[in-house]
Amino acid sequence: MEPFEAEVRAQGFRIIAGLDEAGRGPLAGPVVAAAVVLPAKRSLKGIDDSKKLSAGQREEIFSLLQAKARALGIGIVEAREIDRLNILRASLKAMELAVENLSLSPDFLLIDGIHPLNLPLSQRTIPKGDQRCLSIAAASIVAKVTRDRLMIAYHDEYPEYNFARHKGYGTKEHLEAIRKHGCCPIHRQSFKSIYQPSLL
């Protein structure tokens, strides 16, 4: 990981939040963002891009972050709002909500990607930040674990789609379930051209 946090602290900032989201690509369910403020002087081992970790490793590090991070914030934008805004704007809104839900007020944001947030805070966007920046990697884990848990809960409500397995992504199993059962309330209607190509 690159020393983004140290560089920002050298500029005089003290409460630095890393931000990332999970769930931009699925056909169903919310997009979930997380904001994480890590302790400045304590090394937390095992943090990495969530995509490089197993589900068990993510759960373990999520518990560690709940215990050791200075603050965690979650932002959730559901499917209907994604349809209304579009997925990019919904993802940015989820990040803004995550910042607002922090128990500490950050003075600097490190954001995964290339799009700044519409917040009156100093910030830096970092392409592939979940692979390069520790606090963004931590946020990627919190966002992924939170979203996976939500999709498992949705599985109980809509078991015919098996959301617990694919978490709403466009797997063959999921597409076949849509063809058999149609859409349920958590499917993103604006993504229909993906899972119902005949609508094009």
pLDDT digit string, tens, across residues 33-84: 999 999 998 888 899 999 999 999 999 999 999 999 999 999 999 999 999 9
* Counted domains in the chain: 1
pTM listed for this prediction: 0.95
What local confidence, expressed as pLDDT, does residue 192 receive? Answer: 76
φ, ψ of residue 158 in degrees (nearest 5): -130, 65
**What pLDDT does 197 receive?**
54
pLDDT band at 1 (very low <50, low <70, confident <90, very high): very high
Helix, strand or coil, per DSSP, at residue 59: helix
Find the CATH number of the domain harbouring 41. Answer: 3.30.420.10
Q: How far apart are CA 139 and CA 149, in angstroms?
A: 15
Provide the domain limits for residue 83. 4-199
- Residue 166 structure tokens: 């694919």
Task: Please write the tens of the pLDDT for every residue from 159-195.
Answer: 999 999 999 999 999 999 999 999 999 999 998 766 6
47-51, 121-125, 131-135: range with lowest mean pLDDT = 47-51
The mean pLDDT of 27-36, rounded to a whole number, is 98
Residue 42: the pLDDT is 80
Residue type at 105? Answer: S
Q: Helical H runs in 69-198?
A: 79-85, 87-100, 129-132, 134-157, 163-166, 172-181, 192-195
